[in-house]
Structure 1
Amino acid sequence: MAENPKLAAAMARLDTLTDWERRPRNRMRVGLEPARDLAARLGEPHERFRAVHVAGSKGKGSVSALIEAGLAHAGLTVGRYGSPHVEHVTERVSLGGHDVDPETLAVALTKVLDAYEAARREGTAAAEATWFDLLTLAAFVIFREAAIEWAVVEVGLGGRLDSTNIVDGEIAVVTNIGLEHTEILGDTRAKIAGEKAGIVKPGAVVATTLRPDDEAGRVIAARADALGCALVVSEAGEGATLAETNAALAGAVLDALGRRGVTGRAGEAVGARLLDGDTRARARLVGRMERFSLAGTPRPLKVVLDGAHVPFNIAAVLRDLGREPDLAGPCVAVVALARDKDAPGFLAELGRRATVLVCADAPSAARGRPAAELRAIAASLGIDSEAEPDARRAFLRGAELARRSGGWLLVTGSLYLVGALRGELRSGRLGTAASPPAP
């Protein structure tokens, strides 16, 4: 999209702050004091709407989008805040199922930046606010100004000390727990669950896919019990796809809201029935098992973009894609990973399905693992691979190999890699491409 000059100016100011999404996180400052100070300076915007708070290792964005779509289907005014974005920062804030317009984000972000600069002059806690802290408060200002009834708020990292945790979520969602960000959150699933369970507030409903007999689920259940919270464990059934698992959890959240007396415009309690086929299709996010087709002979090349970056998630993605009849041929994968990801575990899962990997540098260079290092890890696992640091050239090489083998192409490991390539795919700069409508 054409850059809005006001938003460009606000982002230029914001970009002088520390952006921990793109930097090594082992020295990361976490805490709620800067966000609380900013919120106070801005009139406590997070207290002007009701909230569903969503944490978890994977699936947060998809589950959040489904809850948002279900509440909107009921006729309620709803917003959603998520991260990271794939192509444009406006993707992070949604109003009524649509990305916020650049002008609205620019106005809100400017207000928050002004509050931040006042805090710096006065030496209060918000002087230590980060890029994510400020953007979070900008989203809350937007929600207040739009007078929304409900916000679905996705945790950025962890939960307990994440700046989104100033909201008082009536429903606390923990999608799942995998080993990620271990240098910050802990080196076991139980420790990570403790951080994510930090979003649970007294009297809330806790919704999760994790059973109480699971290592991480036990921690979630204990937190719910300690705070007098009802615990809801969603069941999608054995062999359920990621989409079905996410929809089951979102439906459980909507049912829980209905039991708490939340009704739609027609006066009927909200519930899982709101997630019909059209509603689920509207909730599809970019860069999550997103399909493209590149024209060519003798047949078009099928391309899938997915930002999975932890082993258990890429395993599930590959399992689901393996059910697609048009993806029955050999898989070639273009992959990039951040340094804080389990590269051996991820590549081992990827190598079970992909015949060859083209390793690229992550576009977030400060946190990215070099392509040559990824290739060395792949070689140690006995996986055929090549190194091409440039994302665009890596894609073109992957497409060449996939066409040669009569297979299909997967771009994965990093939403930043997906974002670097998606715009070029849509524009046709990587070959004539078409993205089919969401199922």
Structure 2
Amino acid sequence: MNKLVERFLSYIAIDTQSDDESSQCPSTPGQIILGQKLKDELLTMGLCDVSLDENGYLMARLPANIEGAPAIGFISHMDTALDETATNVKAQIIENYSGGEIQLGQSGEKLSPAQYPFLTDLIGHDLITTDGTTLLGADDKAGIAEIFTALSYLIEHPQIPHGDICVGITPDEEIGRGANRFDVKKFGAQWAYTIDGGKVGELEYENFNAASATIICHGVSVHPGTAKDTLVNAMNIAAQFQLMMPQDETPETTEGREGFYHLTTIKPGIARSELHYILRDFEKDGMARRKAFMKKQVEALNKRLSKGHVEVVITDSYANMAEQITPHPHIVEIAKQAMHEVGIEPLITPIRGGTDGARLSYMGLPCPNIFTGGYNFHGIHECISINSMRQAVDVIVKIAQLTAQSTHKQRTIG
């Protein structure tokens, strides 16, 4: 398992932060650099059908060592989030964490149980944190390291039965493009699991329905010296619109199965200002209501304005994967049994977000999500438990084994 940590540290050393302003795929060159490294590693391990295409999609296959078992897959993404820099990541390892505050390098930042109560559950664990100046990249390079370590373990222990194990590493997941050019037929799995969750035990097969809304505020720009009765400041219009949005339906005021509206970015200007929102709801009807509400608010503001006007553009992002996974309960049951058999209590929770698996499920590849052992993704306080990473490896191996064994048992009984 030392190789697990070695892999992870080598992956986070490569800056793969995606870029939502880029039209390229992958959106940043670092993803191809990491992709080539991962490709070489898979070839060294002896996997078959290893390919890295020009868009940064990496696929490979570990051949079955038992006949008749279905091909299953494990998927992670190589890019990191935009929220904090991923350049020059300097991780630190806290061995046998004894509790209390953790100083993050010399940055002055710290991890405190007062702010992050989950730390009390990690006493005795070996932790990997940032130095307080970058994100860590556990989302989702931990998933890659765990999948690769599980593959290596299966290769080194041929007595463990398994069918074909398909591996997929995607680019640009953090900007919503990870499934855009994913070739499900080439991948070859009947179903798969994204290894892209958080705390130990997380098993998720339900996620938000997601959409984005751009509010475009049109004003009139003239010289301020002659602006009387002529200038219309689009930023003032934008401010009025934001004040019309419900303040108790935002990410910071909701939890569980509650949806929200989230103002993510503002592009200000006198003649034109834009407000960019994301809309989230677990129910189709709830999402329809949210879209209708945005349109209604635009209409209401336009009626109030004597000058200038507002328009809205709404785009669907992804849908709740539960609709595609619940008809195939064995996919979730195998993962639950795997966790039980390695001593983990499954935590069935809805994802307050999305994964590549959400879109892949609608592309014919049912794809629940499994934990990596990480916390505080997308920020400088990101950390991960090495102990939990090892448990993720155990779960991946056990899923492969149980899938083959259950298939063999059914065939024998039949």
Q: Name the structure where helix makes up a greater proportion of residues.
A: 1
Tell which has more relative contact order, 1 or 2 (C-alpha 8 A, sep 6+): 2
TM-score, normalised with respect to structure 2: 0.26
Q: Name the structure where strand makes up a greater proportion of residues.
A: 2
- Rg bigger for which structure? 2
TM-score, normalised with respect to structure 1: 0.25
